[in-house]
Amino acid sequence: MIATFTRLRIRSLAGLVRMIRLMGPIRKQLSGAEGLLHSEVKGFSTFTLWRDREAMQSFRNEGGHLEAMKRTRHIGTAESHTWECESPPTWREAKAAFLENKKKALPTDRQGL
């Protein structure tokens, strides 16, 4: 299984409006995503669990999600951590893995899009 935890930091009110407009197509894409095992959204953080890396990359690189990634620089900054796991982590465990990875990452490893 592949787990991904992503956090988006909205830079401005205009960024918030842009993100709200992009959320509908992303939700629609997510609802039909092949290989999606679990998804959770809290605020502007997401945790998804995928059957395999190919399924995750297919979702990431298409449709509404790809469009949102292209526009992130007009919205704020995004950070994510993706890892392999043998059993499904809880939200708390996924967030802890994200934060631990963030501590280890160099500033250039983060994407301020």
The model's pTM: 0.85
Split at pLDDT 50, 70, 90, the class of 108 is low
Show the DSSP H helices in 1-113 as ranges.
13-31, 53-60, 63-71, 91-104
pLDDT of 20-55, one tens digit each?
999 999 999 999 999 999 999 999 999 999 999 999
| Across 55-64, average pLDDT | 96
Average pLDDT, the chain: 92
Q: Distance between alpha carbon 54 and the CA centroid of its chain, in Å?
A: 15
Question: How much is the pLDDT for 105?
Answer: 73
Question: How much is the pLDDT for 113?
Answer: 43
Structural domains of the chain sorted by starting position, each given as residue range(s) with its CATH number in brackets: 2-108 (3.30.70.100)
* 45-67: burial string, b at 16+ Cβ within 10 Å, e else: bbbbbbeeeebbebbbeebbbee
Question: Strand, coil or helix: what is 84?
Answer: strand
